[in-house]
Amino acid sequence: MKKILISTGGSGGHVIPSLTIYDLLKENFQVHIVTDLRGSRYIKNHDYSLIDVPNIFTNLFFLPYNFIKFCISIFKSYKYLKSNNFDILISTGGYMSLPLCIASNLLRLEIFVFEPNSVIGQANKLTLVFAKKIICYHKNIRKVSDKFSKKIYLIDPLLRKEIYNYKKNEKKILKEQKKILIIGGSQGAKFFDKFISKIIVELSKTQKIKVLQQVIDQKSRENLRLMYEKNNIEHELFDFDDKLLSKANNCDLAITRGGASAMSELSYLNIPFVAIPFPYAKDNHQYYNADFYKKDECCWLIMQKDINENNFKDLLESIFNDSNEYFSKKKNLSQLYKNNTWEKNKARITEIINEN
């Protein structure tokens, strides 16, 4: 039985797909996860090993020191891989994965790169030279040169197993009270807490609404609670966790960043969404993630720099007032992932691992 190591770290956008890959493969392979301190925050029900890796470019003043620590992490990765006799490394990207990729190459292990975004991440891009396969959702993934095109293996977007058990949004009409889900991703979104919430208050003057909103910290939770109570807006505030979409099955609309996992799960649950890509995302990948859905007329897409109180309120009102466009997008979403199943993804990724 092949022994596989999945490297992941940083944000929930890296870790959550890694946990899904683990669950897909664990019955047919020996699988283990390695992460860093940041990634460990998102792992609750899986065993993992910890190899912390410095971001060598986070502070140029400490560049020499961090570079030495980075080299030490390569040595630790080499020792860890060799002592545990892994056959395959699956890298989900992020600078945390680089030492493990370098060490795996030195040990001549098979390296598979997993990239859920429409633009390949910098760490995964650096690994392409010695990676055997690129597992991704898009044939024309950005920043992958033609010379690596034969390494691309397509899969359907990976959804956590419990998502398939959630009830899809099958509403045929919009009721008087509109339920809006606001999620900023694993790292939260100050912009959502401070700005979008003000627009929700304005919207409540013309629409009866209930808000389910992810908050970034306790201070934001208290500020929003007071604001919504003052304006008689029914609300539920919550922190980021891997069960947050269990709250979403009866929502009419989501406002989200452009994370690949969040949008694929909202799409599967048939919840129309407005995407506001994080403007500082590396290589603007959140915009390209969201643009994929926009081109298929499955969502509304607006850039953060283009938002003001008037035009965003007008957008939300038009969404609820124009039922034809709203239900057209719902229909397109339902077609997009209608053939996406847990067993199909399990069979496909197992086939990719076993294929020579």
At 223-255, the pLDDT tens digits run 999 999 999 999 999 887 656 677 677 899 999
Residue whose C-alpha is closest to residue 157's, from 341, 353, 350, 324: 341
Residues 228 and 319 in one domain: yes
Count the Cβ atoms, other than its own, within 10 Å of residue 179: 22
Q: What percent of the chain has pLDDT over 90?
A: 71
Residues 245 and 129 in one domain: no
Residues 148 and 167 in one domain: no
**CATH number (domain holding residue 231):** 3.40.50.2000
Cα atoms found within 13 Å of the Cα of residue 180, Cβ hemisphere only: 26
Residues 344 and 245 in one domain: no
Show the domain range for 331: 163-336
If one counts the domains in the chain, the total is 2
Residues 198 and 307 in one domain: yes
Give the SS3 label for residue 90: strand
Find the helix or strand (DSSP H, E) in which 255 lies: strand 253-256
Q: pLDDT tens digits for 14-43? A: 899 999 999 999 999 999 999 998 889 888
Q: Which residue has the tokens 């039922």?
A: 323
Residues 79 and 176 in one domain: no
Residues 150 and 179 in one domain: no
- CA 343/CA 23 separation, integer angstroms: 11
Q: Is the pTM of this model over 0.85?
A: yes
Residues 112 and 137 in one domain: yes
Tell me which long-range contacts 134-143 makes (C-beta under 8 A, separation of at least 24): 135/90, 135/349, 135/352, 137/260, 138/292, 141/115, 141/117, 142/118, 142/283, 142/285, 142/288, 143/119, 143/283
